[in-house]
Amino acid sequence: MNNKKILTAEEAVSKIKSNNSIMLGGFFYSGAPFDLVRALTYRAGELENLTLITNDACSEFVFKDALGNALVETGMFKKIVCSYIGHNHVAMKMAKEGKLEIEMYPMGTFVEKIRAGGAGLGGVLTPTGLGTEVANGKEIITIQGKEYLLELPLRADVAFIYGSVVDTYGNVHHRGVAANFNVAMATAADYVVVEAKELVEGGTMDPNGVSIPAPFIDSIVIQKVGA
């Protein structure tokens, strides 16, 4: 299949440079780009000072020798922006040792910051986090007598996302909860790679089932080892 959008996982991750920020889709095992995570892990020693933006600190790989733990353990990340790290034992250990900065947000706030980044908004207002450590250092805005935190938009240099079905144009369909953070992340990065569980010819997908239109997708990786 001759299509310039289609790359191997290794080709896709070769575009990552030190100091880049990377969004990684998925919620535990659902909707995670397994092959891209594996390929990025293999670049251990080549990259440094990366920022990982992912809901659960790549903890969709929760078993001892899992890819998510291995990815963080490479030491290529200086910071993780997430909602939860409880299943990534390596991330928790490195944070405790001062080797990894963790920036956490309530899950709804996390995805809304990404959505704002994709939409070109200046931020979002939310009452979630008021009176807690989440509010430290943030601007509080009062509207009609009610206080809100101003949360700034979140974007990345690269997004690695997952698609249940992807056509050769780059249109993406998600089955059920596999959509999770993948849809918002596709809009909020400069370079977007989708890992396709199933690839079909362009023009064969039902337009009503498209969750991410092709213009958001820069490259496609056909999944080989993912679950």
38 in a structural domain: yes
Mean pLDDT value across residues 76-90: 89
116 in a structural domain: no
What is the per-residue pLDDT for 110? 97
The tens digit of pLDDT for each residue in 173-210 reads 999 999 999 999 999 999 999 999 999 999 999 999 99
Mean pLDDT value across residues 136-148: 96
58 in a structural domain: yes
**CB count in 10 Å sphere of residue 145:** 5
What is the per-residue pLDDT for 225? 64
Tokens of 95: 């944070």
Mean pLDDT value across residues 51-61: 77
Whole-number mean pLDDT of the chain?
A: 91
Asked whether residue 98 carries a pLDDT value surpassing 50, the answer given is: yes
* Closest C-alpha to 31, from 158, 159, 120: 159
Of residues 92 and 158, more confidently modeled: 158
Tokens of 167: 């056509």
172 in a structural domain: yes
Distance of CA 27 to the CA centre of its chain: 10
Asked whether residue 64 carries a pLDDT value surpassing 60, the answer given is: no
How many domains is the chain built from? 1
49 in a structural domain: yes
Q: Which helix (H) or strand (E) holds 95?
A: helix 89-96
Going by pLDDT thresholds of 50, 70 and 90, the confidence category of residue 2 is low
Asked whether residue 61 carries a pLDDT value surpassing 60, the answer given is: no
What is the per-residue pLDDT for 30? 87
What is the per-residue pLDDT for 86? 78
11 in a structural domain: no
121 in a structural domain: no
Quote helix, strand, coil % in the chain, to nearest 5: 25, 30, 45
Cα-trace Rg, the chain: 18
168 in a structural domain: yes
Q: What is the CATH number of the domain that holds 218?
A: 3.40.1080.10
> Which residues make beta-bridge pairs with 53?
23, 81
pTM: 0.92
Asked whether residue 153 carries a pLDDT value surpassing 80, the answer given is: yes
Q: Which domain holds residue 82?
A: 19-104+155-222
Tokens of 110: 């996390």
Distance of CA 16 to the CA centre of its chain: 14
